Amino acid sequence: MLTSSPSPDYRTLIAAASLVVGPLLMAGGDLLHPEERMAPAEQIVILMGQPSQWYTAHLLLFVGMMLFLPGLLALAALTGAHNPAAGYTARILMLVGVSAIASVFVGEMLVGRFVLDGADHAAATGLLQSMFSGPMLAAVGPAMLAFFLGTVVFAIPLMRAGGGLGWAAALILIGVLLILAEILSARVMLSQIGNVLVWCGSATVAWLIVRGAAGVTE
């Protein structure tokens, strides 16, 4: 529900903190992320040269995603004030998507630890190939796509409503679509730009709800 409140309550403050801190950690992790390749054998060559950087980048992405959860729920609540069905749908889709994306981050952290613990090139390549094999992608891929679809569902009603929230939602949507483009192309720069845009949009929403231009309640 969207309300106007001069004195933010604890739910508003938690949502605002989540909207700032979560995407900021994710942006930091992605800026730290080594170069990517579509071929697992080529990716492992890069990873083995920077295993600590790889692990730290995905750790920040994972922690940031977890801390972003209250903020995502707040974004869905803001949408629900304009379109209750869209708000509910966005909430479900984004929660499903977060679960899937977080599992991928954990898997990539595991590969980093595997290399740091002394795994050779062949073993690390085999693990990465198994992670992104057909059966794994068939299980996790649709759930990951739910996050991107949920972002579209949450953003469009706010963009149509206009104002500061509309512009912030547009930034978040553009950022998330750039992240999707990076997943499909393995061009890290796209997700780096995307995560920065998501943070800019989310921080704007946080500022709006804290100052009372918009408030989040259940």
pLDDT number for residue 121: 85
Buried b (16+ CB within 10 A) or exposed e, 88-126: ebbbebbbbbbebbbbbbebbbebbebbeeebeeeebbe
Can you read off the two tokens belonging to residue 74?
Answer: 């707040």
- Structural domains counted in the chain: 1
Mean pLDDT in the chain?
91
Domain with 122 in it: 2-216
Q: What is the pLDDT of residues 16-49, one digit of tens each?
A: 999 999 999 999 999 999 999 988 889 999 999 9
Q: What is the pLDDT confidence band of residue 215, given thresholds at 50, 70 and 90?
A: low
Return the SS3 of 186. Answer: coil
Q: What is the pLDDT confidence band of residue 162, given thresholds at 50, 70 and 90?
A: confident
The span from the CA of 103 to the CA of 5, in Å, is 37
pLDDT surpasses 80 at 218: no
DSSP-derived secondary structure letter, 50: S
The span from the CA of 21 to the CA of 129, in Å, is 33
pLDDT surpasses 80 at 216: no
Q: What is the pLDDT of residues 55-104, one digit of tens each?
A: 999 999 999 999 999 999 999 999 999 999 999 999 999 999 999 999 99
User: Of the given ranges (18-22, 117-121, 200-204), which has the lowest mean pLDDT?
Assistant: 117-121
Return the SS3 of 158. Answer: helix
